[in-house]
Amino acid sequence: MSQETGGPDDDHVVHVGRQPIYDRDGVVIAHELLFRAGATAATASRRDAHATARVLVAAFTEFGLEEIADGHVCFINLTRDFLTGHLPLPFDCSQAVLEVLETTDVDEDVLAGVTSLAEQGYTIALDDFVVGASHERLLDVATYVKIDMLDVAEEDVRATVTTCRLHAHLQLIAERLETPEALDLAMSLGFEFFQGHVLGRPHVSSAVALAPSRLTRLRIMAALSADDVDIDGLVATVGQDAALSLRLLRATNAASFGLNRTVSSIRDAVVALGLTRLRQWVTLMVVADITEADPEQLSQLLIRARCCQLLAEAAALPGEPAYIGGLLSAVADLFGEPTDRILNGVPLDRTLTDALVTGSGPLGDVLTAVRAYTAPAAEPAGHPPADPGALAAHYLAAVRWTNATLADLSTELREPAPDRAAEHRVAQDR
C-alpha cells in the first residue's frame, strides 16, 4: 500500500524469514527466524546485532510469537553482543533456541556467556559447525549442532558427524540441503533433523510496525534508570507512544508464555512484565529501531486515545481501557489493517477485545463514537452517536493535552539533564 493511500511505507514494514526444520518423518519441529531487508529478499543482507535485535523485536512484539512460530520452537541467530550479555534476551528460555553463528570467535568471554545462558535453561545450537574451529569449546553445553551439507566433501561431513557423536547428548541438524542426494546422505548418516531448500525454502512474513518515538524512548530509559522507579509516571510515559504501548502489550504475552493472563491497561502490562524485563525490551528496541514515528501521526494517535479516555470517564467508565482501545483503534486505521490483525499476540481483556473488534458494550460505543469523530470516513456500525457538543469538548481537551505532552517531551530532549549532585550540594548549603 502506498503512502498516498494512507498505508505504511517500507520503513514501517518489518520482514522476517522463517525456514522450517524437519525430523526424520518429515514433520516440522521448529522454524529458524532470519532477518530480511524486504518482502522479496531471498537472503539476509546483514547478520549483525541490529539484524538480530530486529528479528527479536518483530517476532515477539510485532507479529506475535504464536503467529510467526506457528506453535513451534524458534531458532534465532545471535551475535557476540547477545551471547556475552551486552545486549539482553528479554524472553523466557522455553521460547527459543539460541544459535551461535560460525563467524563468532569463541573466546573466554563468549564461552562464559554461552555457558551462563545454558545454565539459565536456554537451549544452544552451533551453526555451521566445523571440526577444529573454536566452536568445539561449546560442544559440552550445546544441544544441537548444525552441519553444512552444501559443497562439502562427503568424507568431511562423515568426520564431523563422528566427532559430534563422541558427545552423546548432541542432536545433529543437516542444513543447506539443496539436492535429494544430499538429503539421502544426511539420512544415512543418522542426522536427527533436516533443513534446506530441497525440503522448504524460507517464507518471508511482513507486518506493519510503528517505531516508538525517540522522545518517549529516552524518557522511559531515564525513568527506568532511577533507583526508585515512579510506576505512575512510567505508565503515563508509556501511554504517550502508541507503538511502544502495543509492543509492550505483546511483550506481556511473550513474558507470560504458557500462562492464562490478560491485561486491560498499560499499568497491567508494566506490572506483568516487571521492571527488569521492561528495561530489557526498551533497550532492545533502541537497537532495533531504524525509523521514527511521524510527529503528525503520533499526535493523532494520542488525541484519539485521550479523547476515548475523557469520554469514557464522563460516562463513569474506566478510563485506562478506553485509552488503550483508542490507541489500538488508531494504529489499525493508520495502517489500514483489520483490528483483529493488530490485536494478534496482545493478551487484552475480553471486554476490551470485543469493544475493539465488534464495537460491543458501553466501551464499544465510546470507541466507535470517537473513531467516527476523529476519522469521519469510519462507519459507525449502527451505534448511537455521542452528544456532539460533549464530544467536541472532549476532543479539544484531548488536543490541548496532546500538544502539552509533546511540547514537554520536546523541551526535555532539548534541555540538558539537571545536575542532581549540584542540586544536592545547594540544598546542603542552605
pLDDT digits (tens, 9 = 90+) for 117-149: 999 999 999 999 999 999 999 999 999 999 999
C-alpha cell at 361: 458494550
Domains assigned to the chain: 3-207 (3.20.20.450), 214-414 (1.10.3210.10)
The yes-or-no verdict on residue 5 having pLDDT over 50 is no
Strands of 155-202 (E only): list them: 171-175, 193-194
Q: What's the confidence (pLDDT) of residue 36?
A: 46
Mean pLDDT of 100-124: 94
Q: What's the confidence (pLDDT) of residue 24?
A: 95
Q: What's the confidence (pLDDT) of residue 113?
A: 95
DSSP letter at 257 equals T
Q: Which residues contact 242 (CB under 8 A, 6 or more apart)?
A: 210, 293, 298, 301, 302, 305, 327, 328, 330, 331
Mean pLDDT of 271-296: 69
Separation of alpha carbons 191 and 50, rounded Å: 32
Separation of alpha carbons 227 and 233, rounded Å: 14
Separation of alpha carbons 177 and 263, rounded Å: 44
Positive or negative torsion for Cα 152, 154, 159, 163: positive
**What average pLDDT does the structure give for the chain?**
78
pLDDT digits (tens, 9 = 90+) for 49-102: 566 666 676 666 666 666 677 778 889 888 888 899 887 787 778 878 999 989
Q: What's the confidence (pLDDT) of residue 117?
A: 95
The yes-or-no verdict on residue 41 having pLDDT over 60 is no
Query: pLDDT-derived band of residue 365, with 50, 70 and 90 as boundaries?
Result: very high
Query: pLDDT-derived band of residue 430, with 50, 70 and 90 as boundaries?
Result: very low
